[in-house]
Amino acid sequence: MKRRAIYPGSFDPITNGHLDVVERAARLFDEVIVAVAMNIGKEPLFSAKQRREMILPAVRHLPNVSVDSFDTLLVDYATQKEAAAVVRGLRAVSDFEFEFQMALMNRSLAPKVETVFLMPKDCYAYLSSRMIKEIVRLGGSAKGFVPPFVETALQRRLKKGARR
Ligand code: ADP
């Protein structure tokens, strides 16, 4: 049986840190679904469709990775996809408490779905979508932190004076 993993997140937008985690997961599992969470509470900068469309070219070189979105409870989505695991990325200690809580809550909701944590390359350990948006909003460059077409989309959307 194929071992499938779900990598869920807001991906608003996808960064090279997320991609580092996707590549690691793609080596560990037969199939990986990068799953864009539609209900993320906070108002996203990009729509779920736009977020999916930015992930697609970034994972094209990985034949066992696909992109989807979901608006249900994560464990229900993972069960529906018959996933063996949910992958999450762990950066600094600051991620730990929230991720630990979520993993244990998910386990109590769906005991068969295991959460697997992967650490990115150290150069991405401080990278977040939120910080990238802040940098571009203030006129800085996100080069090296996001794929080039994501940088273009961010510049278009956020650069001072750009229409939202
Ligand atoms: P969420 O809003 O669900 O936290 P994100 O899109 O911010 O979604 O992140 C999805 C997952 O990827 C989370 O597990 C997050 O910790 C992880 N992640 C985000 N940025 C990085 C990074 N630079 N390196 C490794 N993991 C990351």
**Residue 75: closest CA among 117, 44, 103:** 103
Which residue matches tokens 């539609």?
38
Predicted local distance difference test score (pLDDT) of residue 161: 54
In this prediction, residues 118-136 reach a mean pLDDT of 94
Sheet holding 4-9, edge to edge: 65-70, 31-37, 4-9, 85-89, 114-118
Dump pLDDT digits (tens) for 65-90.
999 999 999 999 999 999 999 999 99
**Residue 140: closest CA among 124, 160, 163, 123:** 160
Among 116, 126, 128, say which to mutate for ligand 1: greatest number of ligand atoms within 8 Å of CB: 128
What is the three-class DSSP state of 69?
strand
Report which residue type is found at 48: A
Predicted local distance difference test score (pLDDT) of residue 55: 98
For the entire predicted model, the pTM comes to: 0.94
Q: If you take atom 1 of ligand 1, which residue's CA is the nearest one?
A: 9
Strand partners, 4: 31
Residue 137 tokens, joined: 């909003």
Q: If you take atom 9 of ligand 1, which residue's CA is the nearest one?
A: 9
**Which residue ranges have their beta carbon within 6 Å of ligand 1?**
9-11, 15, 17-18, 21, 40, 88-89, 91, 95, 120, 124, 127-129
CATH 3.40.50.620 is held by the domain 4-126: yes
Predicted local distance difference test score (pLDDT) of residue 160: 58
Which residue matches tokens 């996809």?
81
Dump pLDDT digits (tens) for 2-59.
999 999 999 999 999 999 999 999 999 999 999 999 977 778 999 999 999 999 999 9
Q: How far is ligand 1, taken at its centre, from the CA of residue 92, in Å?
A: 11
Measured CA to CA, the distance from residue 32 to residue 101 in angstroms comes to 23
Dump pLDDT digits (tens) for 137-157.
999 999 999 999 999 999 999
